Structure 1
Amino acid sequence: MHVHKQLLLAAALALGGTCAMVATPAQARVHVDIYANVAPPPLRDEVVPAPRHGYVWVPGYWGWSHHRHHWNRGHWARERRGYHYVPSRWDRDGDRWRYYGGRWER
Protein backbone atom coordinates (compact mmCIF):
# COMPACT_ATOMS: atom_id res chain seq x y z
CA MET A 1 0.00 0.00 0.00
CA HIS A 2 2.87 2.40 0.82
CA VAL A 3 4.38 1.92 -2.68
CA HIS A 4 0.99 2.60 -4.27
CA LYS A 5 0.78 6.02 -2.51
CA GLN A 6 4.32 6.87 -3.66
CA LEU A 7 3.42 6.05 -7.26
CA LEU A 8 0.27 8.19 -7.07
CA LEU A 9 2.28 11.08 -5.60
CA ALA A 10 4.95 10.76 -8.30
CA ALA A 11 2.30 10.70 -11.03
CA ALA A 12 0.57 13.76 -9.57
CA LEU A 13 3.86 15.68 -9.38
CA ALA A 14 4.74 14.74 -12.96
CA LEU A 15 1.32 15.82 -14.20
CA GLY A 16 1.56 19.09 -12.26
CA GLY A 17 4.97 19.83 -13.78
CA THR A 18 3.64 19.12 -17.25
CA CYS A 19 0.68 21.45 -16.73
CA ALA A 20 3.01 24.18 -15.51
CA MET A 21 4.91 24.01 -18.81
CA VAL A 22 1.82 24.57 -20.96
CA ALA A 23 1.99 28.00 -22.56
CA THR A 24 -0.84 30.40 -21.89
CA PRO A 25 -1.61 33.46 -24.00
CA ALA A 26 -0.04 36.65 -22.65
CA GLN A 27 -2.11 39.72 -21.99
CA ALA A 28 -1.90 42.09 -24.93
CA ARG A 29 -1.99 45.21 -22.76
CA VAL A 30 -1.57 45.97 -19.08
CA HIS A 31 -3.10 49.16 -17.70
CA VAL A 32 -1.22 50.93 -14.92
CA ASP A 33 -2.38 54.20 -13.37
CA ILE A 34 0.48 56.63 -12.69
CA TYR A 35 -0.03 59.63 -10.44
CA ALA A 36 2.45 62.31 -9.39
CA ASN A 37 2.17 65.07 -6.83
CA VAL A 38 4.43 67.27 -8.97
CA ALA A 39 3.36 68.87 -12.24
CA PRO A 40 5.41 67.82 -15.27
CA PRO A 41 7.76 70.43 -16.73
CA PRO A 42 6.79 72.07 -20.03
CA LEU A 43 7.28 69.85 -23.07
CA ARG A 44 10.68 70.23 -24.70
CA ASP A 45 10.99 71.55 -28.22
CA GLU A 46 12.03 68.75 -30.55
CA VAL A 47 13.13 68.95 -34.13
CA VAL A 48 10.89 66.52 -35.97
CA PRO A 49 12.84 64.77 -38.72
CA ALA A 50 11.54 64.63 -42.29
CA PRO A 51 8.62 62.21 -42.74
CA ARG A 52 9.43 58.53 -43.27
CA HIS A 53 7.17 56.38 -45.40
CA GLY A 54 5.36 53.78 -43.25
CA TYR A 55 6.23 55.48 -39.95
CA VAL A 56 4.56 57.93 -37.56
CA TRP A 57 6.45 60.39 -35.36
CA VAL A 58 5.77 59.77 -31.65
CA PRO A 59 6.53 63.03 -29.82
CA GLY A 60 8.67 63.17 -26.70
CA TYR A 61 6.98 63.21 -23.30
CA TRP A 62 7.70 63.45 -19.60
CA GLY A 63 7.60 60.04 -17.92
CA TRP A 64 7.65 59.28 -14.20
CA SER A 65 10.26 57.10 -12.51
CA HIS A 66 11.99 57.04 -9.11
CA HIS A 67 9.71 59.81 -7.80
CA ARG A 68 10.62 62.31 -10.52
CA HIS A 69 9.82 63.29 -14.10
CA HIS A 70 12.26 62.23 -16.82
CA TRP A 71 12.27 63.12 -20.51
CA ASN A 72 11.66 60.47 -23.18
CA ARG A 73 12.73 61.66 -26.62
CA GLY A 74 10.45 61.42 -29.62
CA HIS A 75 10.94 58.53 -32.03
CA TRP A 76 9.57 56.90 -35.16
CA ALA A 77 7.02 54.10 -34.75
CA ARG A 78 5.90 51.78 -37.51
CA GLU A 79 2.56 52.91 -38.89
CA ARG A 80 -0.52 50.81 -38.06
CA ARG A 81 -3.03 50.96 -40.89
CA GLY A 82 -6.50 51.98 -39.75
CA TYR A 83 -5.12 53.56 -36.54
CA HIS A 84 -3.86 56.96 -35.46
CA TYR A 85 -1.43 57.65 -32.63
CA VAL A 86 -2.63 59.52 -29.52
CA PRO A 87 0.40 61.01 -27.71
CA SER A 88 1.14 60.65 -24.00
CA ARG A 89 -0.16 63.38 -21.72
CA TRP A 90 -0.50 64.50 -18.10
CA ASP A 91 -3.84 65.80 -16.77
CA ARG A 92 -4.58 67.43 -13.44
CA ASP A 93 -6.60 65.13 -11.19
CA GLY A 94 -7.52 66.98 -7.99
CA ASP A 95 -4.32 67.87 -6.17
CA ARG A 96 -2.13 65.56 -8.26
CA TRP A 97 -1.28 64.73 -11.88
CA ARG A 98 -2.35 61.62 -13.79
CA TYR A 99 -0.35 60.17 -16.67
CA TYR A 100 -1.99 58.74 -19.80
CA GLY A 101 0.43 56.79 -21.96
CA GLY A 102 0.50 57.11 -25.73
CA ARG A 103 -1.62 54.61 -27.63
CA TRP A 104 -3.01 53.62 -31.00
CA GLU A 105 -6.72 54.19 -31.65
CA ARG A 106 -8.94 53.24 -34.57
Structure 2
Amino acid sequence: MKRQLLLAAAILAAGSAFGLISPAAQAHGYYDNPPPPPRHEVRPAPRPGQAWVPGHYDRARSGYAWRGGYYQAARPGHRYVPDRWVHGPHGWVKRPGYWVR
Protein backbone atom coordinates (compact mmCIF):
# COMPACT_ATOMS: atom_id res chain seq x y z
CA MET A 1 0.00 0.00 0.00
CA LYS A 2 2.80 2.42 0.92
CA ARG A 3 4.58 1.58 -2.34
CA GLN A 4 1.42 2.41 -4.33
CA LEU A 5 1.07 5.78 -2.60
CA LEU A 6 4.70 6.63 -3.27
CA LEU A 7 4.34 5.62 -6.92
CA ALA A 8 1.18 7.73 -7.31
CA ALA A 9 2.88 10.75 -5.69
CA ALA A 10 5.90 10.34 -7.98
CA ILE A 11 3.68 10.19 -11.09
CA LEU A 12 1.77 13.32 -10.03
CA ALA A 13 4.99 15.18 -9.28
CA ALA A 14 6.50 14.20 -12.64
CA GLY A 15 3.28 15.20 -14.46
CA SER A 16 3.23 18.62 -12.84
CA ALA A 17 6.92 19.17 -13.50
CA PHE A 18 6.33 18.63 -17.22
CA GLY A 19 3.08 20.63 -17.28
CA LEU A 20 0.94 17.58 -17.99
CA ILE A 21 -1.00 17.67 -14.75
CA SER A 22 -1.62 20.57 -12.45
CA PRO A 23 -2.86 19.08 -9.16
CA ALA A 24 -4.23 22.39 -7.87
CA ALA A 25 -5.95 23.19 -11.16
CA GLN A 26 -7.29 19.68 -11.54
CA ALA A 27 -8.65 19.67 -7.98
CA HIS A 28 -10.52 22.95 -8.52
CA GLY A 29 -11.65 22.34 -12.11
CA TYR A 30 -9.45 24.94 -13.82
CA TYR A 31 -8.42 24.61 -17.46
CA ASP A 32 -5.58 26.40 -19.26
CA ASN A 33 -7.48 26.69 -22.55
CA PRO A 34 -10.85 28.39 -23.02
CA PRO A 35 -13.86 26.31 -24.08
CA PRO A 36 -14.73 26.23 -27.78
CA PRO A 37 -17.39 28.65 -29.03
CA PRO A 38 -20.94 27.53 -28.19
CA ARG A 39 -22.65 25.36 -30.78
CA HIS A 40 -25.72 26.64 -32.58
CA GLU A 41 -28.83 24.90 -31.33
CA VAL A 42 -32.36 25.12 -32.62
CA ARG A 43 -34.51 25.77 -29.60
CA PRO A 44 -37.58 23.50 -29.53
CA ALA A 45 -41.08 24.92 -29.15
CA PRO A 46 -41.85 26.35 -25.69
CA ARG A 47 -43.34 24.00 -23.11
CA PRO A 48 -45.75 25.25 -20.43
CA GLY A 49 -44.18 25.23 -16.97
CA GLN A 50 -40.70 24.56 -18.39
CA ALA A 51 -37.64 26.78 -18.83
CA TRP A 52 -35.06 26.24 -21.57
CA VAL A 53 -31.50 25.61 -20.36
CA PRO A 54 -29.17 26.34 -23.30
CA GLY A 55 -26.46 23.90 -24.33
CA HIS A 56 -23.02 24.39 -22.86
CA TYR A 57 -19.60 22.80 -22.52
CA ASP A 58 -18.89 20.71 -19.43
CA ARG A 59 -15.55 19.63 -18.08
CA ALA A 60 -14.32 16.36 -19.51
CA ARG A 61 -11.24 14.25 -18.96
CA SER A 62 -9.78 15.24 -22.31
CA GLY A 63 -10.92 18.89 -22.26
CA TYR A 64 -14.49 19.92 -22.93
CA ALA A 65 -17.64 18.00 -23.86
CA TRP A 66 -20.81 19.56 -25.27
CA ARG A 67 -24.08 19.07 -23.41
CA GLY A 68 -27.12 19.90 -25.49
CA GLY A 69 -29.85 22.21 -24.24
CA TYR A 70 -32.84 20.84 -22.38
CA TYR A 71 -36.03 21.88 -20.63
CA GLN A 72 -36.15 22.11 -16.86
CA ALA A 73 -39.11 22.71 -14.53
CA ALA A 74 -39.63 26.47 -14.26
CA ARG A 75 -39.59 28.26 -10.93
CA PRO A 76 -42.40 30.85 -10.84
CA GLY A 77 -41.09 34.38 -10.31
CA HIS A 78 -37.52 33.37 -11.17
CA ARG A 79 -35.26 33.67 -14.20
CA TYR A 80 -32.61 31.11 -15.14
CA VAL A 81 -29.02 32.36 -15.58
CA PRO A 82 -27.14 29.81 -17.75
CA ASP A 83 -23.79 28.15 -17.04
CA ARG A 84 -20.77 30.15 -18.11
CA TRP A 85 -17.00 29.81 -18.28
CA VAL A 86 -14.96 32.49 -16.51
CA HIS A 87 -11.26 33.20 -16.95
CA GLY A 88 -9.50 33.82 -13.65
CA PRO A 89 -5.95 33.93 -12.33
CA HIS A 90 -5.64 30.12 -12.34
CA GLY A 91 -7.28 29.49 -15.73
CA TRP A 92 -10.80 28.79 -16.97
CA VAL A 93 -13.45 27.57 -14.54
CA LYS A 94 -17.12 26.77 -15.06
CA ARG A 95 -19.72 28.66 -13.06
CA PRO A 96 -22.94 26.63 -12.90
CA GLY A 97 -26.32 28.04 -13.89
CA TYR A 98 -28.70 29.28 -11.23
CA TRP A 99 -32.13 30.82 -10.62
CA VAL A 100 -32.64 34.47 -9.63
CA ARG A 101 -35.74 36.48 -8.77
The TM-score range, normalised by the shorter chain, is: 0.5 to 0.7
After TM superposition, the runs of 4+ consecutive aligned structure 1 residues lying more than 3 A away are none
- What are the residue-to-residue correspondences of 1:69-84 with 2, within 5 Å? 69-84=64-79
TM-score (norm. length: structure 2): 0.68
- What are the residue-to-residue correspondences of 1:1-106 with 2, within 5 Å? 33-94=28-89, 96-106=91-101
CA contact (8 A) 1:36 1:97 kept: yes
Structure of larger gyration radius? 1
Aligned pairs, how many?
75
Report deviation, 1:50.
1.0
1:30-62: CA deviation from partner (whole Å, max 9, x where unpaired):
xx9532111100000000011111111100000
CA contact (8 A) 1:33 1:99 kept: no
Percent identity, aligned pairs only, is 39
CA distance in structure 1 between the partners assigned to 2:39 and 2:58 by the alignment: 13
Report the RMSD for the aligned CA atoms in angstroms: 1.7
Report deviation, 1:91.
1.2
CA distance in structure 2 between the partners assigned to 1:82 and 1:72 by the alignment: 26
Report what 2:18 is aligned to.
Answer: none
TM-score (norm. length: structure 1): 0.65
Report deviation, 1:67.
4.1
In structure 2, stretches of 5+ residues that fail to align are: 1-26
